[in-house]
C-alpha cells in the first residue's frame, strides 16, 4: 500500500516505487499470488485496527456505530484495509496515487458489493480539501516515501479533534533487516525482491516525535509470523512490524 503519484511538481513520491507497485497491482487480492503472505498479514493487522477503533469510539462494552464514522486510508493500494472497514458500515475513503491500484480496488469493491470511495490522489491533496476524518490510517506506506516526516504531518492534520490516527510500518533494526528483507524477499520469496529499503524503516520513537504533542499514544503492538502455521500474531516486541494508535486531543 503506497501513497504514490505520477504527478509532476513537489510531490512526495518515488518513481521507482510507483513502477514496482503498479506492476503488482492485479495481485492485491490473489490468495495464491505474490501477496499471499501479505494477505495473511492483513487479516491480523485488521484485527488490531478494528480493536483500536472499537476501543476508542465504543461505549462501554458496546461497539461503535460504524455508520457514523468517517475513515481515510492513505496509500490504500488494492483496498485490503478500506474494503473490510467499509463492509462494517463506515464511510471509507481510500486514496492512492497509483491509478492502477485505485482501479483494482474499485473493481473489487464493486464485485463485493461494498461501498467505498477510492480516489487517485496524494495525502497532501487530501489536506488541501480541508476535510478531516474520525480515523486516519497509514499502513505500510511511510517506508516508501522520500519525506517521511511530511507524510506523517499530513496524516496528523487529517484527523478530527478527538479522532484516531493509526500507523503501521517496519522498525529499523538488525532483526528487521534479517527477517523482512533477507528472509521475506530473498529466502522465502514472500514479497518481490526490492519491495523494501531498510534505510527507510522507521523507529517507533521517530514516528511518535513526528506525530507530535497534539496526540497521545494509546496503544502499540508488534506483529510476527509463525512460520510453522503461516499465521500472523501480535507480540509485545516492536522490533520488526509494528502498529501504533494515537488519539488526537480535543
Residue 26, annotated as binding a ligand: no
Q: Where are the alpha helices (DSSP H) in 58-129?
A: 82-87, 99-112, 123-128
75 is in an annotated binding site: yes
Cα angle: 135, vertex 94, 127; to 5 degrees: 65
96 is in an annotated binding site: yes
SS3 126: helix
Q: Is 68 annotated as a binding residue?
A: no
Copy the grid coordinates of residue 23. 506492476
Which secondary structure element, helix H or strand E, spans residue 118, and what is its range?
A: strand 117-119
**Cα 77 from chain centroid?**
9
H or E stretch covering 94: strand 91-95
Extract the annotated binding site.
45, 75, 96, 139
Extract the annotated binding site for S-adenosyl-L-methionine.
45, 75, 96, 139
Amino acid at each position: 500500500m503506497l501513497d504514490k503519484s505520477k504527478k509532476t511538481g513537489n510531490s512526495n513520491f518515488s518513481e521507482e516505487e510507483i513502477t514496482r507497485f503498479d506492476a503488482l497491482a492485479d495481485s492485491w487480492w490473489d490468495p495464491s499470488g505474490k501477496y499471499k503472505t501479505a494477505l495473511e498479514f492483513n487479516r491480523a493487522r485488521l484485527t488490531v485496527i478494528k480493536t483500536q477503533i472499537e476501543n476508542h469510539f465504543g461505549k462501554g462494552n458496546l461497539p461503535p456505530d460504524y455508520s457514523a464514522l468517517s475513515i481515510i486510508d492513505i496509500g490504500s493500494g488494492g483496498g485490503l484495509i478500506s474494503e473490510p472497514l467499509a463492509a462494517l458500515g463506515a464511510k471509507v475513503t481510500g486514496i492512492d496515487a497509483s491509478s492502477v491500484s485505485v482501479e483494482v480496488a474499485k473493481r473489487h469493491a464493486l464485485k463485493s458489493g461494498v461501498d467505498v470511495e477510492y480516489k487517485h490522489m496524494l495525502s497532501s491533496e487530501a489536506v488541501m480539501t480541508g476535510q478531516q476524518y474520525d480515523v486516519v490510517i497509514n499502513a505500510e506506506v511511510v517506508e516508501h516515501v522520500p519525506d517521511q516526516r511530511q507524510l506523517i504531518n499530513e496524516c496528523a492534520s487529517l484527523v478530527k479533534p478527538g479522532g484516531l490516527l493509526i500507523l503501521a510500518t517496519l522498525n529499523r533494526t538488525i532483526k528487521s533487516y534479517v527477517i523482512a528483507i533477507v528472509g521475506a524477499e530473498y529466502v522465502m520469496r514472500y514479497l518481490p525482491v526490492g519491495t523494501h529499503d531498510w534505510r527507510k524503516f522507521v523507529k517507533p520513537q521517530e514516528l511518535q516525535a513526528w506525530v507530535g504533542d497534539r496526540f497521545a499514544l494509546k496503544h502499540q503492538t508488534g506483529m510476527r509470523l509463525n512460520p510453522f502455521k503461516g499465521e500472523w500474531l501480535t507480540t509485545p516486541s516492536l522490533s520488526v512490524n509494528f502498529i501504533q494508535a494515537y488519539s488526537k486531543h480535543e
